[in-house]
Structure 1
Amino acid sequence: MELEALGGICGDVLDIGCGLGDNSIFLASRGYTVTGLDGSPAAIERARGRAAEAGVTPTFAVADATDLTGYDRRFDTVVDSALYHCLDDDERRAYAASMYRCTRPGARWHLSCFSEDNVNGVIMAGPTGAVPTSNIRDTLTANGWQIDFLGPTTYLANAKAFTTQAAPSDDSPWSDVSGFPPEQQERIRTMGERMATITALLDDDQIHLPMTVVHAHRVD
């Protein structure tokens, strides 16, 4: 909402790793042509239903963010809200190159991911760990992107989504982490335990998570 209000969104928009479609739905409601892509068919199905309920028509599809074949030079703005930190180093490089191929000259990329910072004792691990700023700089600049701003921010989240990592329920996104390597499973478990300890101290289960925000543009 802030990006849109300050003029950071223009042209055809890609909401990459769109999940349940919150950003796609909001931007479509503001009149933008939006495409939301995610690797989860279940998420895309729910995003379509939520968009229909909201009375807007973004385009949703299942896709691999590291290989957007068929989307060449399609977009003017890319919004990544917490996808980058879900990828390993090889996938991040492929992802940055994929974003270059699917965008037009002068395109802007707005990216938010878990940082190595500490906010009031809260640290993030994520499936692949927190992301050093050096990793972001090296990956983006090596794949045709110039960073205009990179700095710390926070992400207001519902802590219940993270405490289920320690005690997953059947409908939890963390109900089965067996597909992750052992060290990643341990990171997820540890983060869930930390969140479970903090939850009792929170108001309305809301917590600020340490994040890095990046604004970059495509170098032609």
Structure 2
Amino acid sequence: MTGLPWDASYQDGPAPWDVGGPQPAIARVAAEGGIAGAVLDVGCGSGENALHVAALGFSVLGVDVAETALAIAREQAVARGIEAEFAVADAFHLERLGRRFGTVLDSGMFHTCDSDERPGYAASLAAAAERGATLYVLCFSDIGPDPGPHPVGRDELRGAFEAGGQWNVVAIEPDRVLTRFHGDDGAPAWFATIERI
């Protein structure tokens, strides 16, 4: 909802990216054993990815600026009997958390950043990641028909994380992002696996 606070996206029903469950890419990487240590979910929204990972037994902190979304996430955690923590935090100042994580999830946050914001965002993520931690980024791709808003090129994604010398991009693979407006197959996406140096 361009021009409105993120919180407004959650006040009149589900947000466009709130699909009532985890993104398949996040569920897949969890099922494949790709999650390790404490987990940070940046821009967690109503918490579906965080809750999915927490239900597997991981310690999870989901952060967002949208307090309505966080309230929904907390309600869902209680309703499902899942232990997960949700807190208001600025994705561009994650050092303020005073904590470091072994796995960091970004499902739909990166593509909301303008090109001039991306270096600061990558540095913020690095400040919250242990050395050797894995960051997973799921974002809208510029490849394929019917892209989502703010699609990102593969080179843009790689460049944003490799420029600062704090991250190593291991892989960027084509994937899909589910939304409430792209049908059952979702929108074209990149799924990046990035390691903290």
- TM-score above 0.5, yes or no: yes
- In the other structure, the counterpart of 1:187 is none
Match of 1:31 in 2: 57
Matching residue of 1:139: 160
Q: Which amino acid aligns with 1:123?
A: P
Q: Deviations over 1:18-62 (max 9, x none)?
A: 000001111111100000001111111111111111111211001
SS across alignment from 1:4:
helix
Task: Output one character per residue of 1:54-89: Cα deviation in whole Å (capped at 9) or x when no partner.
Answer: 111211001110111333451010011111001112
CA contact (8 A) 1:117 1:210 kept: yes
Q: Max radius of gyration: which structure?
A: 1
Q: Percent identity?
A: 35
TM-score in terms of structure 1 length: 0.74
Paired AA for residue 38 in structure 1: D
| Structure 2 unmatched runs, 5+ | 1-26
Matched letter for residue 113 of structure 2:
L
Asked if residue 4 in structure 1 is aligned to residue 21 in structure 2, the reply is no
CA distance in 2, matches of 1:207, 1:2: 15
- Superimposed CA distance per residue, residues 106-141 of structure 1 (whole angstroms, 9 cap, x where no aligned partner): 0000001011011xx3222x2xx2111111111101
Aligned-residue CA RMSD (Å): 1.4
Partner Cα distance (2:115, 2:67) in 1: 24
How far off its partner does 1:93 sit? Answer: 1.3
Question: What do the CA deviations read for 1:149-193 (whole angstroms, capped 9, x no partner)?
Answer: 11211123322xxxxxxxxxxxxxxxxxxxxxxxxxxxxxxxxxx
Aligned to 2:187: 209
Equivalent pairs counted in the alignment come to 170
Give, in whole Å, the separation in 2 of the partners of 1:102 and 1:96.
10
Large movers: runs of 4+ above 3 Å:
none
Counterpart of 2:146? 122
Gaps of 5+ in 1: 160-194, 196-204
Residue 152 in structure 1 maps to residue 174 in structure 2: yes
